[in-house]
Amino acid sequence: MRAYLNGGKRGRYLILAGIAATETAWPGFEERWRRVLIKHNVNWWDTADAMSVDASGEFLIDPRLGWDRTRAETALDELGEVIRDTRAEHFDACTLRADALVMTCVVDMDAYAEAKTRNPRLRSAEAICANACVSSLLTIDEAPDLLCFDQDEGFMKAIEEAWRVAGTRPSAWKPRQLETAGDMRDAHLLPGLQAADLLAWSTNDALQRAAEKGSPRANVLGRIPHYYGLEEIERAYPRQKEAR
């Protein structure tokens, strides 16, 4: 199994999103993903670049054909369909129930700041996301051969800490490879990382739309299973009583 994740702070939110799939599922996923890219005259997918009306250069297969927001949104929708058609499910349980599993976590950083004033020992927001998205991977039967993060030191530190803690359990495992995109040649061409980027972007976009319209929190696959506002943070990470 391989897992790819993308994370970072977008506005008031810290978001970590990713996709994990079995080795038998990845070839078909990658083929369908690349087919959509070619259809839309794109060499690879970077959502921020794609949604920019001045996207050009190596991003486009043939720059002469041009690019605009409408084309970008159409391509994004079809790439989202590739994820959905892979029978992807949100990672709510610790069992591999589908060919691909999607991990999504959001921490409201305004709420986190308030929670931190009440609980100075509160774990980092990156650790909260890493625990929600990745700790479930520690308990499934098929350990990843590769777990790849888009480059982000805070998340890397958080997941490495999760592995150290898990290493005290007899059943613990570690992926054979833990890498950041910066360590990998042509990492931007990997469909798995591109899909993780799309999931993170669509999550942030959905949160902005929800704030504007009062609609439910959701992303390309529907609801966001791990959302941490003040109530959720304090419930999941209660302040520990100091020993006397």
In a domain, 45, yes or no: no
Structural domain including 176 reads 2-24+89-236
Any domain includes 75: no
Q: In b/e form, how buried is each residue of 159-181, taking b as 16+ CB within 10 angstroms? A: bebbbeebeeeeeebebeebeeb
pTM to 2 decimals?
A: 0.82
Least Cα distance to 107 among 125, 131, 132 occurs for 125
Output the pLDDT for position 96: 46
* In a domain? residue 44: no
**SS3 per residue for 30-60:** HHHHHHHHHHCCECCCCHHHHCCCCCCHHHE
CATH number of the domain where residue 179 is located = 3.30.420
The radius of gyration of the chain's CA atoms, rounded to the nearest angstrom, is 18
Report if residue 179 sits inside a domain. Answer: yes
Total residue count of the chain as it appears in this document:
244
Residue-wise pLDDT for 66-93, tens only, equals: 899 999 999 999 999 998 887 655 544 3
Residue 59 lies in a domain: no
Distance of CA 141 to the CA centre of its chain: 21
pLDDT mean across residues, the chain: 78
Confidence of residue 241 (pLDDT cuts 50, 70, 90): low
- Residue 182 covered by a domain: yes
Q: Is residue 10 situated within a structural domain?
A: yes
Query: How many domains, in total, are found in the chain?
Result: 1
Tell me the average pLDDT across 208-219: 63
The answer to whether residue 132 sits within a structural domain is yes
